[in-house]
Amino acid sequence: MSMLLKDEAYDKLIRMINDGELVYGQTYSLNILASQMGMSRTPVREAVQKLCDEKRLDMMPSRGFCIHNITPDEMLHHYHFSNAVEGYCVRCLAKKYQTDKRNKYVRRMKHLLLDMEESLSEEVPFGDYFELDQQFHAEIFDSLEDSYFSELKSSPMGFFNRSELQLRERKITRKAIYDCHKKILGAICAGDCDGAYEAMMQHAALMMESL
């Protein structure tokens, strides 16, 4: 089987999760979903298995699959990861900004924040808004200019790729996420290392409210 088909199925499933087409508490048939996606069962099954390995989906024997029901312990692991990794990155970025007011990562984060503000309306598809959210966090990872940290963007740990947590029972609003990002960026632009770290901790704490 072509790897391209499996990757295409994976990307489509990610988009469906990010757009809220797959929701908590609902069971999905692999055969029906493959038909809806216009693909054969095999690449879709392999894509679902990959997402199960990443704990984005749960396979239900003889029934299908569903969005992964994240546990309190898993949420705590994500919380610690976000604080440890992204918290360190924003501290370093705030320090850099003290002497580099034209920092390219901060410039891009400012533009992304403006785009996020324009996407607060529920009329904008959630997937489009979440893509801006991901790009904002990607700049935080990349700002360290360390290839190892940049690769952590694809890690299953942390809240970076977890759109379903924001969509879960709509407990966390777009505006709340936007306000967290605004506070993080504000502290970075003020050169406030401790403030940037504290703002990131508050952001991670907000994500815990999705439980």
Same domain for 82 and 140?
yes
Same domain for 10 and 108?
no
* pLDDT tens column, 86-121: 999 999 999 999 999 999 999 999 999 999 999 999
SS (H, E, C) 30-94: HHHHHHHHCCCHHHHHHHHHHHHHCCCEEEECCCEEEECCCCHHHHHHHHHHHHHHHHHHHHHHH
- For the chain, the domain total comes to 2
* pLDDT tens column, 9-54: 999 998 888 888 888 889 999 999 999 999 999 999 999 999 999 8
Residue-number span of the structural domain to which 121 is assigned: 72-208
Contact 165, 172 (CB under 8 A): yes
Same domain for 41 and 113?
no
In eight-state DSSP terms, residue 153 is G
- pTM, to two decimals: 0.80
In eight-state DSSP terms, residue 168 is G
Same domain for 34 and 129?
no
Neighbours of 181 (CB within 10 A): 21
Same domain for 46 and 105?
no
* pLDDT tens column, 119-178: 999 899 888 898 899 899 999 999 999 998 888 887 777 777 777 777 665 678 899 999
Contact 112, 136 (CB under 8 A): yes
Contact 73, 39 (CB under 8 A): no
pLDDT for the residue numbered 126: 85
- List the CATH number of the domain containing 45: 1.10.10.10
